Amino acid sequence: MREIIITCALTGSIHTPSMSPHLPITADEITAAGLGAAEAGAAILHLHARDPETGKPSAEPEHFMGFLPRLKQASAAVLNISTGGSAVMSLDQRLAASKQAAPEMASLNMGTMNFALYPMAERISEWKHDWEKPFLEGSDDLVFKNTPRDIARILTELGRDRGARFEFECYDLSHLYMLRHFADRGLIKAPFFIQFVFGVLGGMGPDPENLTHMVRIADKLFGEDYMFSVLAAGRHQMPLITMSAAMGGHVRVGLEDSLTIARGTLAQSNAEQVAKIRGIVEALGRTVATPDQARAILGLKGADKTAI
Ligand code: KMH
Ligand code: ZN
């Protein structure tokens, strides 16, 4: 069995500053979070940017460039830039930073869907910034748009033209069939790195049966040509990724997906979650992949071929 790749998603665009003082916001904070996560054992850093003044999710290349070169210079970790950005951004905005940086990896969301964050607003009593409440509440009428045309555009502009490989975000069974469709069109090449996403309201729920069924169908559709990783939102994070590790999958942690380290306890850092899953992986008798092992497993072009 191969090494297990730990991805750490440092900040994302779901959680807002009022939810945790530990959510990295500024370029300094995102850099420190990334270096800490890599030191703790993350081979891949999944990256979003934020406006340093307001903490709002940002697609500005300038905000990404505040931390990308520093992460590249100070760590060997694979830098994976989100093309999901936030559902309120246009595709042009979502692609701007990754087109400029030509990273080794980028995320790619495999279907249009609801992405409902509004239940989280009820749990906050004191807001740090004016934008947070309407941002969360407005998600009851938000479409996270990832049409086949959008997907083809990302595959072309980042994959074909810039040599990026992808973290295929699949929130539902239907997304696996969309991925198969793009394989049949010859737009993607094996091995496919599929991220099964559980617990986003709008995608599949965090039931263990969903994971076994996703694996069963992915086996049928992709055979030996794929590997899977798991991320799960909130308190389902550790249980479901542990299940992934036990089933031969890879794992993703990070404050993008969950702000806690145990039920009711905020994680102090991304590194804390990486260390926890690393301990679990090793207790299962498995080894965590180094960044270069992850590059070999995923067939990446190499850090020297990016524009970061
Ligand atoms: N936020 C996660 C549920 C992306 O950045 O492309 C999925 C994600 C999407 O990471
Ligand atoms: Zn993300």
Distance from residue 87's CA to the centre of ligand 1 (Å): 10
Instruction: Let me know if residue 137 belongs to a domain.
Output: no
> What is the pLDDT at residue 134?
98
Residue 217 domain flag = yes
- Count of domains forming the chain: 1
Asked whether residue 176 is domain-assigned, the answer is yes
Q: CA-CA distance, 164 to 301, in Å (whole number)?
A: 7
Whole-number Å distance between alpha carbons of 305 and 303: 5
Q: What is the pLDDT of residue 77?
A: 98
Residue 122 belongs to some domain of the structure: no
Ligand 1 midpoint to CA 307 (Å)? 23
Identity (one letter) of the amino acid at 232?
Answer: A
With a 6 Å cutoff on the Cβ, whether 197 touches ligand 1 is: yes
CB 228: neighbour CB atoms within 10 A? 22
pLDDT at 83: 98
- 180 domain residue, yes or no: yes
DSSP string, 254-288: STTT-SEEETTEE-S-HHHHHHHHHHHHHHTT--B
Token pair of 186 as six digits: 């010859």
Please give the span between the terminal C-alpha atoms of the chain, in angstroms, as a whole number.
33
State in Å: Cα 82 to ligand 2 middle. Answer: 5
Which atom of ligand 1 lies at the shortest distance from residue 108's CA? 6
Taking the centre of ligand 2 as the mean of its atom positions, its distance from the CA of residue 167, in whole angstroms, is 10
- Domain that residue 161 falls in: 3-114+144-305
> Which residues lie below 8 Å from residue 228, measured CB to CB, with a gap of 6+?
194, 195, 196, 214, 215, 218, 244, 249, 250
Is 23 within a domain?
Answer: yes
Mean pLDDT by 10 residues, the chain (308 residues): 95 98 98 98 99 98 98 98 98 98 98 98 97 98 98 98 98 98 97 98 98 98 98 98 98 98 97 98 98 98 98
**CA pseudo-torsion sign 74, 195, 186, 111:** negative
Provide the pLDDT for residue 265.
98
Tell me how far CA of residue 37 lies from CA of 77, 172, 217, 265, 274, in angstroms. Answer: 9, 28, 32, 19, 6
Read off the amino acid at residue 103. Answer: P
Integer Cα distance of 32 and 29 in angstroms: 5
- CATH classification at residue 300: 3.20.20.70
Instruction: Choose the residue to mutate in 7, 15, 44, 46 for probing ligand 1, maximizing ligand atoms within 8 Å of C-beta.
Output: 46
Residue 128 has a pLDDT of 98
Does the Cβ of 169 fall within 6 Å of ligand 1? yes
Length of the chain: 308
109 lines ligand 1 (CB under 6 A): yes
Give 265: exposed, middle or buried? Use CB within 10 Å, 0-12, 13-18, 19+. exposed
- Rounded Cα distance between 198 and 42, Å, is 20
CA of 107, closest atom in ligand 1: 6
In this prediction, residue 271 carries a pLDDT of 99
pLDDT at 304: 98
What is the identity of the amino acid at 144?
F
Whether the CB-CB separation of 192 and 226 falls below 8 Å is answered with yes
Residue 139 lies in a domain: no
Q: Is the CB of 254 under 6 A from ligand 1?
A: no
- Name residue, tokens 């309120």: 88
Enclosing H/E stretch for 76: none
Ligand number, closest to the Cα atom of 107:
1
123 domain-assigned: no
Of 191, 261, 199, 273, give the one whose Cα is nearest residue 230. 199
